[in-house]
Amino acid sequence: MNLKLVSTICPYCGCGCGINLVEKDGKVVGVEPWKRHPVNEGKLCPKGNFAHEFIHRNDRLTTPLIKKDGKFVPASWDEAISLVASKFKEINAQFGPESMACFASARVTNEENFVMQKFARVALRTPNIDHCARLCHGTSVAGLAKTLGSGAMTNTIKDIADAKLLFIIGTNTFEDHPLIGRRIVQAKERGAKIIVCDPRFNITAKQADIYVQHRSGTDVALLNAMMYTILTEGLEDKEFIKTRTKDFEAIKAEIMKCSPEWAEPITGVPADTIKKIARMYATSGASAILFSMGITQHACGTDNVVSVSNLALMCGMIGRPGTGINPLRGQNNVQGACDMGCLPNVVSGYQAVINDELRKKYAAAWGVPDLPNKVGLTIVEVMNAIDEGKIKSLYIMGENPMVSDPDINHVKHALQSVNFLVVQDIFMTETAELAHVVLPAASFAEKEGTFTSTERRVQLLKKVVSPPGEAKEDWEIICAIAKKMGVAGFDFKSAEEIFEEVRKVTPQYAGMTWERLRKPEALHWPCPATDHPGTPILHTVKFTHPDGLGIFFPVSFKPPAEVPDADYPLLLTTGRMIFHYHTGSMTRRSATLDNEVKTGFVEINPVDAKALGVKMGDKVKVVSRRGEIEISAKVTPNIMKGIIFIPFHFNECSANKLTNPVLDPFAKMPELKACAAKIIPIPKEDKKAAAAAVKVAPKIGGQ
């Protein structure tokens, strides 16, 4: 028996855990711990432990597919690439470059994302390039760019264990970043206090010394009231405010309107609790903030992030070990996809496309006269622009908006009506089904490249087995289309060669080489020179703004765009669970994970359930202004009265049929965490039919 262990990186969340894939006879047959990996030290969550199970599924895409008369027909690469290239050229000539859009992917490598943004900007000459960071930490990037000058996690994962207090708000870390959760446990064992603020008493909240249950969408009220206590009791860090920040005076007036007594009826949190957590945060000596989607996915998401930043700056809890503002980035390579410039306003290294000097320098490095010099459309804006007839072609690599975008009925309408849709994935997803051409990609185990984790750690991915059938690496496919279109600059021979180009044009990555990255220590960006050790902690002596100062911005509380009313009396929030990942394309095809949880549910408080006459397991309809779904009720006191929660992983009871696509004005983030909804019990006689419908719906379950 010939077993080989290959050390590589988990393909799921942004923790960036190291795993050993076990290879036997050209197949990946298991996962073994990589004990000396500095992030996870051999520990893995269930998704990492079973990350091999989807790789050799027999429903992997193995050949290009072209839709003819409404049916997919297998095609050769030559035929598919020729068709895509000629269609792209035709649409470009007929409707102009701005009628075209590309979605990159937080699941694929830095090199593949870099090539995708180059393809959009050089081959299609369109500014319309975006990816799922828009629905994720787009507001963190926007908010922290305003206050600190750059929008990444300020400290490292390991550093979390050194905090004296962890302020955990809007992240269910134990389910969604389990190997960061482990550092929370370590901090607790060393005596740290844990505060969790979340409308659900989730698994993470169970670890808290103080659990604060506030209403979805009231974070600014809660944070401002904490700052009110800190200011009125003189607990702010005056020295830090004086030497490291500016515009502190500008926020005082707003904060002084927000007493804990004012916040109590808005948030549902007793004023005394708000005062207590404010004092604890300000006086621990080393407080770190962890936040994620509960903060970001709101129409006021940027405000929420700025408010978090105000709190940390006011208390001087940044730039030192055990402190910091830590947006826990979600996907394995969402940090990297942003770093590589798969955003409509920046090329790689966050260099703004509207800055003439930076853009011209960048274009010169690519040997082209210029690049699109305006900010392109974001994900939800692309869907709207298709409806308005402005976008005619969409090239999607490694995203599944038919399950992950808000207001699915609208997304479906858009994707069905766009002139030309190309989807590049490893499986036939709900989105791929609507495509004109489907291109089969190699998975994480079948290619080389780099991923950048939530702590800005750049790590090498190893090729363990060959892709199935004729599937190719994403960068190879993109380059083949570009070359067929007759565009120069896509003649890469390997991922490493692409990385060499990344280094040249991306200051944060300039000092990294694959040779250096082969060591498991890897490197945290910024790493400007080959003898630079990388930067684990940001902002130790100055912030990223030109004057080096952190900036305060006043933020006032605004309720969610849709609040409960007589017609829709409940507030719906959405999120995740440990066993499933996003649209389920991989975890629902992994037998072990699929067996754990087969389908979705709606969490409802016992008081609300009783008033509706709904019992545990009953099938109900959940209805919003955008759509309705049928789903089983999970009656639990863990969810606040008046709030309901649905995990968004399950297409047959899709939370996103209900969610509100209203956007944050700065980051264009949709309000995925708050919309008005109602529950309609399904009368007894209809229940059998509904149950049968739900049973047949999941068609991709474990094989």
Ligand X SMILES: Nc1nc2c(c(=O)[nH]1)N[C@H]1C(S)=C(S)[C@@H](COP(=O)(O)OP(=O)(O)OC[C@H]3O[C@@H](n4cnc5c(=O)[nH]c(N)nc54)[C@H](O)[C@@H]3O)O[C@H]1N2
- State in angstroms the smallest separation of the CB of 292 from ligand X: 3
From candidates 88, 114, 427, 499, binder to ligand X by CB under 6 A? 427
> What number of chain residues touch ligand SF4 (CB under 6 A)?
13
Give yes or no for residue 113 binding ligand X (CB under 6 A): no
Strand partners, 440: 425
Give yes or no for residue 537 binding ligand SF4 (CB under 6 A): no
Strand partners, 288: 166, 324
Give yes or no for residue 330 binding Mo ion (CB under 5 A): yes
From candidates 100, 136, 220, 487, binder to ligand X by CB under 6 A? 136
CA distance 663 to 206: 32
CA distance 383 to 301: 21
Q: How many CB atoms lie within 10 A of CB 626?
A: 18
Q: What are phi and psi of 506, to 5 degrees?
A: -125, 100
Contact 576, 648 (CB under 8 A): yes
Q: Which of residues 8-37 bind ligand SF4 (CB under 6 A)?
A: 10, 12-13, 15-17
Give yes or no for residue 445 binding ligand SF4 (CB under 6 A): no
Contact 47, 175 (CB under 8 A): no
- State in angstroms the smallest separation of the CB of 106 from Mo ion: 7
CA distance 629 to 428: 23
Give yes or no for residue 295 binding Mo ion (CB under 5 A): no
Q: How many CB atoms lie within 10 A of CB 215?
A: 23
User: CA Rg, the chain, in Å?
Assistant: 24
Q: Which stretch, 253-261, 329-337, 486-494, 503-511, contacts Mo ion (CB under 5 A)?
A: 329-337
User: Read out DSSP for 420-440?
Assistant: EEEEEESB--TTGGG-SEEEE
CA distance to 29, 348, 501, per residue, from 341 (Å): 35, 4, 13
Q: Which amino acid is at 364?
A: A
Task: Kindly give, in sequence order, each residue whose CB lies less than 8 Å from that of residue 345, ignoring residues fewer than 6 positions away.
Answer: 352, 353, 354, 375, 376
Q: In residues, how long is the chain?
A: 703
Closer residue to ligand SF4, CB minimum distance, 37 or 436:
37
Closer residue to ligand SF4, CB minimum distance, 13 or 196:
13
Q: Which stretch, 45-53, 206-214, 247-255, 353-361, contacts ligand SF4 (CB under 6 A)?
A: 45-53
| Tokens standing for residue 166 | 């962890």
Sequence-ordered strand ranges (E) for 563-666: 570-575, 601-604, 619-623, 628-635, 643-647, 660-663
213 binds, among ligand SF4, Mo ion, ligand X, none (CB under 5 to 8 A by kind): none
Q: What are phi and psi of 669, to 5 degrees?
A: -85, 130
- State in angstroms the smallest separation of the CB of 294 from ligand X: 2
Q: Mark 142-181 with x for binding to ligand X (rule: CB under 6 A) and - for no binding.
A: ---------------------------xxxx--xxx----
Give yes or no for residue 669 binding ligand X (CB under 6 A): no
Q: Which of residues 299-358 bind ligand X (CB under 6 A)?
A: 330-331
Give yes or no for residue 578 binding ligand X (CB under 6 A): yes
Give yes or no for residue 522 binding ligand SF4 (CB under 6 A): no
From candidates 23, 48, 465, 501, binder to ligand SF4 by CB under 6 A? 48
Sign of the torsion angle spanned by Cα atoms 674, 680, 684, 686: negative
Q: Which stretch, 29-37, 117-125, 216-224, 551-559, contacts ligand X (CB under 6 A)?
A: 216-224
Among residues 142, 550, 124, 501, the alpha carbon closest in space to that of 346 is found at 142
- Give 652: exposed, middle or buried? Use CB within 10 Å, 0-12, 13-18, 19+: middle
Q: Which stretch, 135-143, 178-186, 192-200, 340-348, contacts Mo ion (CB under 5 A)?
A: 135-143
Give yes or no for residue 45 binding ligand SF4 (CB under 6 A): yes
Closer residue to ligand X, CB minimum distance, 200 or 678:
200
Task: Kindly give, in sequence order, each residue whose CB lies less than 8 Å from that of residue 309, ignoring residues fewer than 6 positions away.
Answer: 143, 144, 147, 148, 325, 550
Closer residue to ligand SF4, CB minimum distance, 40 or 147:
40
Give yes or no for residue 581 binding ligand X (CB under 6 A): yes
Closer residue to ligand SF4, CB minimum distance, 100 or 153:
153
3-state secondary structure of 157: helix
Ranked by CB distance to ligand SF4, the top (closest) residue is 48
| Tokens standing for residue 535 | 């930067």
CA distance 570 to 697: 26
Closer residue to ligand X, CB minimum distance, 199 or 316:
199
Interior CA angle at 101 toward 14 and 700, to 5°?
A: 55
Give yes or no for residue 132 binding ligand X (CB under 6 A): yes
398 binds, among ligand SF4, ligand X, Mo ion, none (CB under 5 to 8 A by kind): ligand X
- State in angstroms the smallest separation of the CB of 336 from ligand SF4: 14
Q: How many CB atoms lie within 10 A of CB 490?
A: 20
- State in angstroms the smallest separation of the CB of 381 from ligand SF4: 30
Give yes or no for residue 179 binding ligand SF4 (CB under 6 A): yes
Give yes or no for residue 406 binding Mo ion (CB under 5 A): no
Strand partners, 72: 67
Ranked by CB distance to Mo ion, the top (closest) residue is 330
Give yes or no for residue 136 binding Mo ion (CB under 5 A): yes
Sheet order of strands, 65-68 included = 71-74, 65-68, 437-440, 420-425, 393-397, 100-103, 129-130
From candidates 268, 344, 401, 702, binder to ligand X by CB under 6 A? 401
From candidates 52, 107, 320, 626, binder to ligand X by CB under 6 A? 107
- State in angstroms the smallest separation of the CB of 691 from ligand X: 24
Residue 570 is given by DSSP the state E
CA distance 643 to 563: 11
Among residues 553, 537, 533, 147, the alpha carbon closest in space to that of 324 is found at 537
From candidates 64, 151, 170, 178, binder to ligand SF4 by CB under 6 A? 178
Sign of the torsion angle spanned by Cα atoms 90, 91, 92, 94: positive
10 binds, among ligand SF4, ligand X, Mo ion, none (CB under 5 to 8 A by kind): ligand SF4
Assign residue 371 a region: left if phi > 0, alpha if psi is -120 to 50, beta otherwise? Answer: beta
> What number of chain residues touch ligand X (CB under 6 A)?
61
From candidates 211, 648, 650, 666, binder to ligand X by CB under 6 A? 648
From candidates 324, 398, 468, 702, binder to ligand X by CB under 6 A? 398
CA distance 613 to 592: 35
Among residues 365, 369, 375, the alpha carbon closest in space to that of 343 is found at 375
Closer residue to ligand X, CB minimum distance, 90 or 264:
264
175 binds, among ligand SF4, Mo ion, ligand X, none (CB under 5 to 8 A by kind): ligand X
Q: Which stretch, 214-222, 543-551, 561-569, 622-630, contacts ligand X (CB under 6 A)?
A: 214-222
Give yes or no for residue 426 binding ligand X (CB under 6 A): yes
Residues that bind ligand SF4 (CB under 6 A): 10, 12-13, 15-17, 40, 44-45, 47-48, 178-179
Residues that bind Mo ion (CB under 5 A): 136, 330
Residues that bind ligand X (CB under 6 A): 13, 105, 107-108, 132, 135-136, 169-172, 175-177, 197-200, 202, 216-217, 219, 292-295, 297, 330-331, 397-401, 404, 424-427, 429, 441, 443-444, 474, 573-576, 578, 580-583, 585-586, 648, 655-656, 659, 672-673
